[in-house]
Structure 1
Amino acid sequence: MPGDHLSNEEFFTKLGDLLENNRTKGHGTVFLTQKRLTFDTDFSPPPAAKIADDPLWDTHPQNPLPVVIRASNNKSSSRPGTDREDIAKTKLSTVVQPDQLDSFYGRYADVCKAGMSGLKKRDKKKGKKDKKKKRKGAVGETKG
């Protein structure tokens, strides 16, 4: 499994390409996830007595744990009647060491912001606002 992860620089390059590709196609979803890496060959759980005293023993490890950052696109298959083409599923992942987290997240934020700069703002539905106004007016009105 560790051999499947990209270096941080490769991850940023491919993530930028993935975001740009989705933006130019005009559709698509990019999923970004992160979690701590708990797989460690040296790791052994504490004795049963300590686990009984502290059932959340794994939430405060002795040494800081690295973080796995993943990005993937939503595989899109063309449906009849749509103009979408088949897009291959892309999965990216990298491992960030605890001492590199601050610099990684700074660059990660820059890459994500750059990839999201061309997004269109969602259109708000006007029907809900109109209905609320009508209801408030009808309840508050009095004949005089």
Structure 2
Amino acid sequence: MGRDHLSNEEFFTQLANLFEYTRTKGHGTVYLTQKRMTFNTSSTPPPASKVADDPLWDTHPAEPLPVLIRAYNNKSKKKEGTDREDIDKTQLSTIVKPDDLDGFYARYAEACKAGMSRLKKRDKKKAKKTKKRKKGEIKIGV
């Protein structure tokens, strides 16, 4: 994939906008993923002979590897009888260098907390009532 990655500052700005957009529309999901890059972006992948000699070569790299962080929402289509709008898919990604991980994750956690500020708490009472009712019911075989 030849996609350009945002700088860390641009990523946080766009992530805040994405959270705000889904919050103001009253619906939508923001997916957050992260993974370690298997090789440094400035170098090439390891040769096949290295992989053949040690199948777990990537578990002990010579130098720390960067982390790829992604955020996206899904495309949404307008449904009959609802006030939803068509939403285009938004994809954000950034690469975090190993030296910057601690500061990045602290800021990432704050951005995620701010994005989740309007979530509804789950209604546990309703779930308990239905569970008790099912336990208390006795079926009589006919």
Cα distance in structure 1, aligned partners of 2:114 and 2:58: 36
Question: For residues 28-86 of structure 1, what are the alpha-carbon distances to aligned partners after superposition, in whole Å with 9 as ceiling and x for unaligned?
Answer: 000000111235453453673x6455321122211111111000011111122222111
Cα distance in structure 2, aligned partners of 1:44 and 1:75: 33
**Aligned position for 2:101:** 101
Cα distance in structure 1, aligned partners of 2:17 and 2:45: 40
Cα distance in structure 1, aligned partners of 2:45 and 2:17: 40
Question: For residues 1-30 of structure 1, what are the alpha-carbon distances to aligned partners after superposition, in whole Å with 9 as ceiling and x for unaligned?
Answer: 676111101110110111111112111000
Distance 1:20 1:97, change over 3 A: same
Amino acid aligned to 2:94? T
**Aligned position for 2:134:** 131
Cα distance in structure 1, aligned partners of 2:91 and 2:5: 10
**Aligned position for 2:59:** 59
Q: TM-score, normalised by structure 1?
A: 0.81
The question of whether the paired residues in 2 share the 8 Å contact of 1:23 and 1:119 is answered with no
Deviates more, 1:51-60 or 1:109-118: 51-60
Cα distance in structure 1, aligned partners of 2:103 and 2:2: 22
Q: Give the alignment's Cα RMSD to 1 decimal.
A: 2.2
- Secondary structure at 1:93 match in 2: strand
- Point out the structure with max Rg over C-alpha: 1
Q: TM-score, normalised by structure 2?
A: 0.82
User: How far has the Cα of 1:129 moved from its partner?
Assistant: 3.4
**Aligned position for 1:20:** 20
Paired-residue identity, %: 69
Distance 1:88 1:46, change over 3 A: closer
Distance 1:41 1:109, change over 3 A: closer
- Structure 1: runs of 5 or more not aligned: 139-144
**Aligned position for 2:43:** 42
User: How far has the Cα of 1:98 moved from its partner?
Assistant: 0.2
Deviates more, 1:75-84 or 1:100-109: 75-84
- Structure 2: runs of 5 or more not aligned: none
User: How far has the Cα of 1:122 moved from its partner?
Assistant: 2.7
